């Protein structure tokens, strides 16, 4: 529903409610309802309709405005990246190219071998820097991926540290759009995944550790920390000393997420998921 239509509905619903109430009261309820009681009930009826219908419209309007603000912020960031890429291309990249051309000319006219050798070394350095600048320009013009979100990067680093301590292989796959999570969801999800990785570091003795974040239908998500370590016997949440996992379960419960800690074949899986909104 478009914002303009939502605004008109917010304006018209109370008016239509009181008009409908007055019509029903005079057409059908007048023999049974006094004028004073009808006048007294009118504001409560409008209030009830407002709380049930208009409040929902306000929430949809706020959600729409929030999405619009995120799109504007993303567009502004992309414009800044494009502007910076243009400045690099028109400034530093062009200057490096001209410098490489001048060095080629120097190499051709130099009559001494040390000069030609030095010119060749400088040319290779300039070309390497030029290639780095071109790569930086390409990266700036490429939209940032979900894995590059600021709050996700510490998880990648912790996964790398964990794999380094265990001398294990690490894999990080993350495709949850940054804008699809609220600030509170990011904080809680970061804390839960961090605790799961620390648990792997302490107990798993794994050779491979994987962190996966993916979207599911309807706008939900599923995050997993997997390892091929020694696993556990029974319910890990009931094991002595596993306070961290109980904390994760409690955090998930408060957020309305589903938390699982189980053995799947030769892998131990800690999973957090949020169900998406079903489309009708």
Position with higher pLDDT, 43 vs 224: 224
Position with higher pLDDT, 259 vs 279: 259
Give the dihedral of Cα atoms 169, 175, 178, 180; nearest 10 deg: -140
CA-to-CA distance for 50 and 19, rounded, in angstroms? 14
Provide the β-strand partners of residue 212. 173, 224
Model confidence at 50: pLDDT above 60: yes
Model confidence at 104: pLDDT above 80: no
Model confidence at 170: pLDDT above 80: yes
Element (H, E) at 268: strand 267-274
The full set of domain ranges for the chain reads: 1-143, 147-274
Calculate the alpha carbon distances from 198 to 70, 160, 201, 227, 279 in Å: 33, 12, 5, 12, 37
Q: How many CB atoms lie within 10 A of CB 137?
A: 20
Q: Which residue's entry shows tokens 């799961």? A: 196
Residue 68 confidence (pLDDT): 74
Average of pLDDT values for 248-269?
Answer: 90
Whole-model pTM: value is 0.49
Model confidence at 173: pLDDT above 90: yes
Average of pLDDT values for 108-136?
Answer: 70
Residue 233 confidence (pLDDT): 66
Residue 132 confidence (pLDDT): 63
CA-to-CA distance for 50 and 55, rounded, in angstroms? 6
Q: What is the CATH number of domain 147-274?
A: 3.30.565.10
CA-to-CA distance for 197 and 210, rounded, in angstroms? 9
pLDDT band at 114 (very low <50, low <70, confident <90, very high): confident
Tokens for 262, please give them: 């189980």
pLDDT band at 87 (very low <50, low <70, confident <90, very high): low
Alpha carbon 37 to chain centroid distance? 53
- Over the stretch 181-221, which tens digit does the pLDDT of each residue have? 888 888 889 889 988 998 898 888 999 999 999 999 888 99
CA-to-CA distance for 272 and 150, rounded, in angstroms? 20
Residue 270 confidence (pLDDT): 92
Average of pLDDT values for 116-120?
Answer: 74
Residue 228 confidence (pLDDT): 94
Model confidence at 14: pLDDT above 80: yes
């Amino acid at each position: 529903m478009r914002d303009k239509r939502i605004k008109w509905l917010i304006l018209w619903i109370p008016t239509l409610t009181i008009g409908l109430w007055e019509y029903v009261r005079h057409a059908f309820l007048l023999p049974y309802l006094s004028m004073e009681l009808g006048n007294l009930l009118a504001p409560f009826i409008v209030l009830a309709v407002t709380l049930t219908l208009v409040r929902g419209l306000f929430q949809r309007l706020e959600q729409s405005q929030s999405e619009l603000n995120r799109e504007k912020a993303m567009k502004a960031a992309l414009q800044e990246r494009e502007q910076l890429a243009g400045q690099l291309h028109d400034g530093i990249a062009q200057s490096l190219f001209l410098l490489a051309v001048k060095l080629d000319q120097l190499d051709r006219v130099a009559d001494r071998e040390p000069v030609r050798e030095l010119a060749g070394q400088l040319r290779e350095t300039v070309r390497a820097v030029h290639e780095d600048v071109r790569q930086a320009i390409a990266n700036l013009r490429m939209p940032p991926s979900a894995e590059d979100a600021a709050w996700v990067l510490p998880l990648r680093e912790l996964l790398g540290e964990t794999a380094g301590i265990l001398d294990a292989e690490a894999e990080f796959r993350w495709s949850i759009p940054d804008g699809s999570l609220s600030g509170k969801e990011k904080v809680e999800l970061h804390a839960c995944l961090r605790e799961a990785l620390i648990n792997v570091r302490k107990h798993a003795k794994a050779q491979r550790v994987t962190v996966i974040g993916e979207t599911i239908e309807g706008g939900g998500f599923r995050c997993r920390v997997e390892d091929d370590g020694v696993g556990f016997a029974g319910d890990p949440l009931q094991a002595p000393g596993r306070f961290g996992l109980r904390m994760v379960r409690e955090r998930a419960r408060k957020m309305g997420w589903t938390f699982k800690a189980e053995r799947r074949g030769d892998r131990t899986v800690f999973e957090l998921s949020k169900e998406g909104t079903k489309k009708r």
